[in-house]
Amino acid sequence: MPISTDMLGAFVKVAEHASVSRAAAELGVGKGVVSKRVAQLEAAVKATLFSRSTRQVALTAAGEAYLEFARRALREVSAAEERLRDLRAELSGPIRLTAPVSWGQCVLAPRLPAFLRLHPAISVELHLADRRLDLGREGYDLALRWTSQPAPELHAQAVAQVAWLLAASPAWLAEAGAPAEPEDLARHPCMGYWRESADDAWTLSRGGERRCVRVSSRYHVNNPESVAAAALGGLGIGLLPDYLCTAALAEGRLQRVLPAWTPLTPYGTRITAFAPPERLRLARNRALLDFLVRALAPATGDAG
């Protein structure tokens, strides 16, 4: 018996709800229909996928092993159907996109209106978050992230470069004095994107030379924009991405510190787009990725 999407859909919903009745309610069919579809799937794969009792339905070891394959198959079929729809009509439909909070606000969000004007039938749902995400499970089409190390099953493409630098307000540097060497940072209040005590060790590079300095601060924050605000407010030396301080440096509200040295951060210098391969088969998702590569190309060139 060939396996149908109805069988796979019934299996996935029963697995997710641990209940035939709740799966039936979500699918809009009767309990008997769901049970029949699951039984047909078990016959087709020649394995028992659920252990059943009067009180609960639970996945067997075979069911647990088969669940992700079933989900992937349903995603592939859905993507293929959407791809055919895209080929028959103008680019349309929703795109779920996620990006880091500060970069998304400062760099990505100002560019998305141009894409939406180009494609009036496309809608974008942008989620700004710094946490690690499971793109397939959470239903994202595209993720823009600092890391350049994707899960092996994801398509990855660099879209932008980000330079890191040290900066402080001129008034604060006039009062406290500008560091002359990386080791001098240990005597100054220093602020960076902070998540744990390991973030209080800063590594700087100049040519082939590297130096690591333990820094300290009275102000810890897990948002780069807040670090920029603190540096502008004269609280000390900020470790900042260039997109947050280019204007302030040009206007003289911030001043580079140790400009010959480049901070090396855990986040790297690249914004990378990640996507499940089946989602990039949809023309609208591919169009957005291509648009972002073009729109961010000047920033990439400027960062060197």
The fold of 5-86 is: Arc Repressor Mutant, subunit A (1.10.10)
Identify the pLDDT of residue 300: 35
Vertex 241, ends 100 and 180: CA angle to 5°?
150
d(CA 220, CA 194): 6
Identify the pLDDT of residue 254: 97
Top CATH class of 89-162+269-303 equals alpha beta
Write out residues in the chain with pLDDT < 70, as ranges.
54, 83, 85-89, 148-150, 198, 298-304
Identify the pLDDT of residue 125: 95
- Whether pTM > 0.85 for this model: the answer is no
Mind listing the pLDDT tens digit for each residue in 2-46?
Answer: 899 999 999 999 999 999 999 999 999 999 999 999 999 999 999
Q: Give the residue range(s) of CATH 3.40.190.290 domains in the chain.
A: 164-264
First-to-last C-alpha distance (Å) of the chain: 58
Q: Give the residue range(s) of CATH 1.10.10.10 domains in the chain.
A: 5-86
One of 3.30.420.10, 3.40.190.290, 3.40.47.10, 3.20.20.70 is the CATH number of 164-264, namely 3.40.190.290
Identify the pLDDT of residue 149: 66
Identify the pLDDT of residue 150: 62
Identify the pLDDT of residue 170: 96
